[in-house]
Amino acid sequence: MPITNTTDAYGTITKTFHWLTALLILTIIPLGAIANRLPFETDAQLALKAQLFSFHKTLGVMVFAVALMRILWAMTQPKPGELHPERTVETFLANLVHWLLYISLIAVPLTGWIHHASTAGFAPILLPIGQDLPLIPKDETLSELFAGLHWIWSKIMVGAILLHIAGALKHAFVDKDATFGRMWFGRTNLPETAGHAGSRVAPVAAIVIYALATGAGAATGILGHAETTEGTELADVASDWTVQDGTIALTITQLGSPVSGTFEDWTAAINFDPDAGEILGDVTTTIAIGSLQLGSVTSQAMGADFFDAAAFPTAEFQANITAGESDYLATGTLTIKGNAVPVTLPFTLDITDDQAAMAGTLSLDRRDFGIGQSVGDESNLGFGVDVEINLTATRSDT
């Protein structure tokens, strides 16, 4: 049995690539479908869902690597000729399906990998390659785009696989020819062929199918299909200091890895006078929970067992401001999901003329606010939540 291809038969290396790819693909597709449908309301459910997604992603990277090696190898090898060149329509369809598969084996895992790299959290790849990809930023819009492409193009891949299997079965049981034997291991009596006659029609048609499917997906909104929570419009607030810019960021630990996000919509009513006495001022910050962007776990965070954004659309921090030994303290109550918890936020403050820059950090325990009560295992979701606040404000006209 030859290692390399001939004009009549595929070699051992090509056959190995073919069947290894088939094994990976026929494993990865059901893994992804099952993982996507599993609930994640308990520790055990979340752990299983994450594990299956990790296997799915890891096998996807392996498919991508094997596909690259397979294509590079194919470029160095002759391709056996058609067994039925007189069947022009059937031959064209077979070549079209093969090109759809070639494109899919690169495009589908690559879009999934970019989606994984451009977001944060949930189900790490089980290979020592890290979460990130070169030149791919953490960007939720980019993540949604590639998640949509991955969904659309995976459907093309599944369709091509089904057609490929149907064609193989036809050759085996209807035509009873040597098509299957050419790709299976062992010695088989094969007919002589004149070698594969290349054509540009099939690859161009495959590209057109991808383009049409992508355009249809864009027209129907699939390329931005990620679930979002309806935001709560916050009312303007009267304040001695008007916030010009700032972030309220949080970091959780999921499956042993940090996942960071920000609240995009919040208001702060700040009254502050460094010469006022013991109480220097007060602050009331209102946060729109639905504006949270937390990578791939944003939708999960909005659920009833976590922030329950539908029932509790805002969180609020009310505190008095006092001077500490080397910084300032905002001491008051943080209310999330209807649970009011006493907290003290230490922060630094730099005031120049009528401009102020503030920075502070706060460590919280999610259990104090009834968040993630069903997830009691820190290996799935850590109890601690780190909050970082940075803002600049301008003294209002009086």
DSSP state letter for 155 = H
CA distance 8 to 11: 10
CA distance 28 to 42: 24
Q: Give the torsion sign (CA, 30, 62, 299, 259).
A: positive
The domain tally of the chain equals 2
**Per-residue model confidence (pLDDT) at position 199:** 77
| Residue from 35, 44, 37, 36 nearest 375 by CA | 44
Q: 138 with 25, same domain?
A: yes
Confidence of residue 226 (pLDDT cuts 50, 70, 90): very low
**Per-residue model confidence (pLDDT) at position 228:** 46
For residue 315, CA distances in Å to 234, 251, 341, 342, 364 come to 11, 17, 12, 14, 14
| Number of C-beta neighbours around residue 323 at 10 A | 13
Pairing of strands 314-323, 266-272: unpaired
Does a structural domain hold residue 55? yes
Does a structural domain hold residue 102? yes
> What confidence tens digit (pLDDT) does each residue in 64-112 have?
999 999 999 999 999 888 888 889 999 999 999 999 999 999 999 999 9
Q: Compute the radius of gyration of the chain from its Cα atoms.
A: 29
* % of the chain residues with pLDDT over 70: 96
> What confidence tens digit (pLDDT) does each residue in 33-51 have?
999 999 877 788 888 998 9
Domain boundary among 224, 253, 275: 224
Answer whether 289's CB lies under 8 Å from 254's CB. no
Domain that holds residue 345: 241-395
> What confidence tens digit (pLDDT) does each residue in 199-216 have?
789 999 999 999 999 999
Confidence of residue 220 (pLDDT cuts 50, 70, 90): confident
Does a structural domain hold residue 230? no
Q: 174 with 257, same domain?
A: no
